[in-house]
Amino acid sequence: MTQPRYTDLVNTLPSTVPFVGPEEQERSRGAPFRARLGANESLFGPSPAAVRAMQAEVLEIWKYGDPSSHELRHELATQMGARPENILVGEGIDGILGNLVRLLIGPGDAVVTSDGAYPTFNYHVAGFGGDLHKVTYVDDREDPAALFARAREVDAKLVYLANPDNPMGTWHSGAAIVAALDDLPDGCLLLLDEAYVEFAPDGTAAQISADDPRVIRMRTFSKAYGMAGARIGYAIGAVDLIRSFDKIRNHFGMNRVAQAGALAAVRDGAWLTHVQDQVAEARARITAIAAENGLSALPSATNFVAVDCGADGAFATRVLEELVARGVFVRKPAVTPQDRCIRISCGRPQDMDVLAEVLPEALAAARA
C-alpha cells in the first residue's frame, strides 16, 4: 500500500498539539466545566455592536471576505497612528505568527525566545526547521536584555517577546522595550506580541514607529474584544515587511463575519472600557481568593492571574488536576520555576464564586 511521502523535516517532528482544548477535556471527563478559566478568553463577551454587525453579515456569508480587509485596516491604522499599508489582518496572532516564521525562517536559522513563553510560536519555528534558542525568565519576567544578547551570540533572525507576558502576566514599560532595542543586533527582527496590552497599565505599549524595520507588533481581537472564536488579529510593521506577507498568506483566509465584527468592536470604545473594568475587578477577586487560601498572586497586566501555589511544579500540577476534577478549567506554566503557579483567567462574579468554592477542596486534596 502506498503512503504519502512526507518531507524529511516533517518526518523528524513529533505529533504535537500546543494546547489541549477545554472541549477535549470535557469529553474526557464526561461533563462540562462549571467555570472555564483556562484559555484567557473574555467571559464578558464581545461588544453588542460587534454581535449585531456579525449577525447582519451572516446574510452575506455567501461572499468571500475582503482579501485586503480594507475597512478594518484603515480603522486600525487611524487608531494606531499608522498608515493602512503598515497593517496586516490575519487569522489571529497564531496565523500571523505562522506566516511570519514562514517568511523568515528556514532549516537551521536561529530564533530566540524565553524558556516557558508562548509554545505556539515554538511550534511554528519547529515546523519550518528553525533552531530555537531559549533564555530563562528573571523574576518571573521575560528579559529583553538576555534575549537580545543571545540573539547576537547565535546570529538570530527573529526574537519573540510578549509584553505583557503569557503565562505569568508580568510586564515591562514600553520605554524599557524601546531602550532595549538599541541592543537588538542588525538583521534581527523583534516580534513583539501585545495580545494583552489593552489590560496593561498606561505606558506599557511601546511607542515604536510603525515604519521601524526592527519590530513587528501583533495584537488580537481574542482577548479584550471577546472574539476568540472569530480568529482575527493584526500586525503593525514596516510597509515592506507587511507587503511581503502577500507572497505567502491565504488571501481569502479571513471570515467576512469576523471582519465585520472586528470593525464594530474596535469602534466601540465604551465596551472595551467596560471589559477592562470587569477584568480589573476579577483580578482583584482572584488575588483575594488566593490570599484566603494561603497562596500569593503575581501582579498581572493581563486578563489572567498567575497564582503561586507555594511549592514545586508537581504540587501545582496536582492542584490543577484537582480543580479540573471539580469542574474548574485552568492551566499552568510548564517550565521551572514558573511551573509552581497555576494560571487563572478572569471571569464573571459567578465564575469567581465557583473558584472560591472549589479551590480550598482542590488544595486539600493536592496536599493529601
- The kind and range of the H/E element at 270 are helix 269-292
Distance CA(301)–CA(165), nearest Å, equals: 8
3-state secondary structure of 49: helix
CA-wise closest residue to 307 among 328, 338, 349, 275: 338
Residue 204: the pLDDT is 98
C-alpha cell at 323: 480543580
Query: What number does CATH give the domain 48-267?
Result: 3.40.640.10
- Tell me if the pTM is above 0.75: yes
How many CB atoms neighbour CB 189 within 10 A? 21
Residue 15: the pLDDT is 85
Alpha helix locations (H) across 46-191?
A: 48-57, 70-80, 92-104, 119-127, 144-154, 174-180
Residue 261: the pLDDT is 98
Residues composing the chain: 368
Report whether 225 contacts 42 (CB < 8 A): yes
Longest dimension (CA), the chain: 62
> For the chain, where do the domains classified as CATH 3.40.640.10 start and end?
48-267
Phi, psi dihedrals of residue 141, rounded to the nearest 5°: -125, 145
Residue 2: the pLDDT is 85
Over the stretch 1-44, which tens digit does the pLDDT of each residue have? 688 999 999 999 988 777 788 999 999 999 999 999 999 999 99
Contacts of 99 (CB under 8 A, 6+ apart): 90, 245, 248, 249
Distance CA(86)–CA(309), nearest Å, equals: 43
Query: Which CATH class, in words, describes the domain spanning 20-45+270-367?
Result: alpha beta
> For the chain, where do the domains classified as CATH 3.90.1150.10 start and end?
20-45+270-367
pLDDT averaged over 10-residue windows placed end to end, the chain, 368 residues: 88 84 91 96 98 98 97 97 98 97 98 97 96 98 98 98 98 98 97 98 98 98 98 98 97 95 98 98 98 98 98 98 97 97 98 98 97
C-alpha cell at 216: 513587528
